[in-house]
Chain A
Amino acid sequence: QSALTQPPSASGSPGQSVTISCTGTSSDLGLYNSVSWYQQHPGKAPKLIIYEVNRRPSGVPDRFSGSKSGNAASLTISGLQAEDEADYYCSSYAGSSTLVFGGGTKVTVL
């Protein structure tokens, strides 16, 4: 299956909001509500920040939110903070017990 499509970069000033898109197809992201988002700081393992489209694991700040419409999902970071500067990856269930990931988006805090 093909990777989900993410913009390579996004940026915002502290306190602003930034939204990252993730586009799939009607066979993966559009068909299932199993969309996850992961945050990865340089040299670190990824960390789950959103699952099942818009649910946050315990301990993840509520400034992170997710949504989905059709074949696209979005991650919004509200009230951007310096520590939010990282790479972000979306993932979706793609049927037949498989997962597919996006190419990643580097978020820069200006």
Chain B
Amino acid sequence: QVQLVQSGAEVKKPGASVKVSCKASGYAFTAYHIHWLRQAPGQGLEWMGWIYPNSGGTKYAQTFQGRVTMTRDTSISTVYMELSSSDDTAMYYCARVSTVDSRDLGYWGQGTLVTVSS
């Protein structure tokens, strides 16, 4: 079965970078886009962008352009999302598209809480 397992919760100082991992299993890792979303406490979902593990190609939301970097390591079926200058406590989710050509997110990681505190 498809599984996305994210790295554990982190505490960061204001202005620090954060890097979250998302390990995939149960399917052909390189065939499906993986998206990243952010959710601040009590707030809605915010789309950050995607990575296509086959080529490493990426697309970032304008809001995060210049601050976010998504990468992958195909040898361990893992994608990474790094956000620089993060000042906001938030939950970060990775999510896989349902089918190779779909635009909906049928599989989600459990979320990674990043707490920003001085």
Binding site for B on A (CB under 8 A): 1, 3, 32, 34, 36, 38, 40, 45-48, 51-52, 57, 89, 91, 93, 96-104
Interface pair A1/B104, CB less than 8 Å apart:
no
Interface pair A48/B98, CB less than 8 Å apart:
yes
Binding site for A on B (CB under 8 A): 35, 37, 43-47, 50, 59, 61-62, 93, 95, 98, 102-106, 108-111
* Assembled-state Cα–Cα distance A76/B51 (Å): 32
Question: In the complex, which residue of chain B has the Cβ closest to the Cβ of A96?
Answer: B59
Contacting residues, chain B, for A46 (C-beta < 8 A): 45, 93, 95, 105, 108
Interface pair A57/B108, CB less than 8 Å apart:
no
Return the contact of B47 from the options A48, A52, A98 (Cβ within 8 A): A98
Interface pair A45/B106, CB less than 8 Å apart:
no
Contact status of A93 and B44, CB under 8 A, knowing A45-B93, A45-B111, A98-B61: no
* Assembled-state Cα–Cα distance A22/B52 (Å): 28
* Assembled-state Cα–Cα distance A89/B47 (Å): 12
Contact status of A3 and B104, CB under 8 A, knowing A51-B98, A57-B98, A97-B50: no
Question: In the complex, which residue of chain B has the Cβ closest to the Cβ of A99?
Answer: B47
Which of B45, B46, B62, B102 has most A Cβ within 10 Å? Answer: B45
Interface pair A34/B108, CB less than 8 Å apart:
no
Return the contact of A45 from the options B44, B61, B109 (Cβ within 8 A): B109
